[in-house]
Amino acid sequence: MGECGGDEADRERVDDVQGLDLADVDLNQDDLRDAEEDEQEREARKRTRQLGSDGQNEQHHSDQAQDEAERAVGVVGGRPEHAEAGEEELDDHADQVDHGKAVENHPSLRHVSTLRDPQDAATLSSSSMAVATRREYGLFIDGATAEPAGGEIRELVEPATGKPLAQAAMAGTDDVDRAVSAARAALEGEWGKTPPNERSRLLHALADAIVANRKELVELETRNVGKAVSSTKPEVFVAAESFRYMASAIGSIEGGTRPIGGSILSYTLKEPVGVAAQIVPWNYPIMLAGWKLAPALAAGCTVVLKPDPATPLTALRLAELAVEVGIPAGVVNIVPGDGPTTGAHLVSHTGVDKVSFTGSTATGSEIMRLCADAVKRVSLELGGKSPSLVFADADLEDAVASTAYGIYYSAGQSCEARSRLLVEQSVYDDVVQLVTDKAGAVKVGDPLDPETHMGSLISERHREKVHGLVETGRGEGAEVVTGGEPPAGDGAFYPPTVLAGVESGQTVAQEEIFGPVLAVIPFEDEKDAIRIANDVRYGLMATVWTGDPARGHRLARRIKSGTFTINLPYGAFPGIPFGGYKQSGFGREQALETLQMYLETKAVLLSTGARPTNPWSL
């Protein structure tokens, strides 16, 4: 079963994706424009030349354009098994996501690849952009699509419409065993023999492939997650840039000599940790897959990555692209599945050497327990309740507009969303009015509409959770000044919401709501602002808005957060370490520090003396 033709509404929505411009990208805009222009030039050249056949250089894999005709890669699936309900351990935000229904009696399982027919490179129609609708996706193990051993297939629902989107295979423990075995074989085989310069070339090629297939990836991500395309398009480019950064950072992997005097020579070696288990949540599937995969592959590790069972589509496609550009089979394996079964088995597997997890603090704590007995290397990027601090001397218009972005992009479903707005008492009322106006100006709607600022939440179940916390805030004395009520109609939408009169000890000021809800809290002075900012168990990110640069630097040393920005809403860039203090986790993403987490340091000592060593004169 390949692509089923989408209806006209789908085609109209998808057609809008093609003309998007980048907006609000945490990357160098000129570099991204150059990437798009280079892609256009490649497509133009392909129209005037005939590509070679099967023996062509593998460099052409990264030039396979989005506009070529599709070719499907199929695999037969078995009868599905229904997942047990109610199991939340190790399933990040499990209470918030409808992970789909098992599909009975599926005739076949087909993982559609976009390897294309070069002769159709000049052809593109809006219908060919409906890449996800009603398709079936398998697992990805040892370089190929694989059917699940247990036969479980789930129906994925488009969060913004409530309509069926695709069907996806779910991995069980046997599938994890196969994936870990494939990763170990690749580590001890071809990938383990691949020199650093070749790894760098392959990561650059994978980044090129992501850019070349950006239209498909953007649509998959938008429809699978429900967030606005104005967010998902930059996220696809961030994934590409993560691979570029780590491809270049490979040159930093080096040992050194350590002089200790006498007749002993010593030096150090850097070696890959081994097989890495990586788990990413549903809110940034492709971007976080890039954050995880890039440093692991750069270090020479192999990977078994578990995306959330509700949002596996772009991770599966990314693994296909990795093989297409020449990364050996078994280096990247993708096993969507539930946390209590698939996730728990993966992180506790004896064949796994390191675990990297992004998600909730509760799940991260459980992963630490599972890894403790084997003393596995663990890095965790967890929850947050991040503050924006607005002082009276700030440019209030700029501060409030940026604060609205900092909470409402991704519909607040972001670990570093600045969900607490701390405002100096003298301008509190003015700021509440300003942020209420800005919230009302946020365009909520069809995620594929390029004019949309904010799409839907991930599921109706998650919307219920968000609304329940808003009601808790209302009951504790907070004033809902705008939003706060689920709209009628299809999809898991929730309006931008502002809560005023919030006190630091209230639930909405302490708990991670993970939705478009902003709690506005007054403070008296700088000391009080620092106290309130630190009065949570998290410490992922903080932003201060002030006209006094010295104050900004003072607060950077006083507020406990892994990232601190001054008069800037952005904080995640390739090359800049990203991670948390306190219960927001440990370890860093996106930077040289990340690369080191996937490397072991070995000390080598050699006697250079002319006489034999005989310490006891035996």
For 3, residues 6+ apart whose C-beta sits below 8 A from its C-beta are 70, 112, 130, 131, 133, 134, 135
For 7, residues 6+ apart whose C-beta sits below 8 A from its C-beta are none
Q: Which of 123, 281, 314, 138 is nearest to 209 (CA)?
A: 314
Q: How far is CA 348 from the centre of its chain?
A: 22
Match 């023999």 to its residue by tokens. Answer: 193
Q: Which class for 6: exposed (0-12), middle (13-18), buried (19 or more C-beta within 10 A)?
A: buried
Tokens of 252: 């930093």
CB 326 within 8 A of CB 205: yes
Report the amino acid identity of residue 130: A
Tokens of 57: 């250089």
CA distance 612 to 448: 74
**Which helix (H) or strand (E) segment is 321 a member of?**
helix 313-324
Q: Which class for 126: exposed (0-12), middle (13-18), buried (19 or more C-beta within 10 A)?
A: middle
CA distance 319 to 324: 9
Cα R_g (the chain), whole angstroms: 25
261: phi then psi, degrees, rounded to nearest 5 = 80, 170
3-state secondary structure of 398: helix
Report the b/e string of 96-105 with b at 16+ CB within 10 A. bbbbbbbbee
CA distance 111 to 334: 13
Instruction: Output the DSSP codes for 107-160.
Output: S-EEEEEBEEEGGGTT---GGGG--STTEEE-EEETTEEE--TT--EEEEE-TT
Question: Which residues make beta-bridge pairs with 542?
Answer: 564
Tokens of 256: 């050194």
CB 349 within 8 A of CB 176: yes
- Other beta carbons within 10 angstroms of residue 10's beta carbon come to 21
CA distance 11 to 126: 6
Cite the active site residues: 381, 415
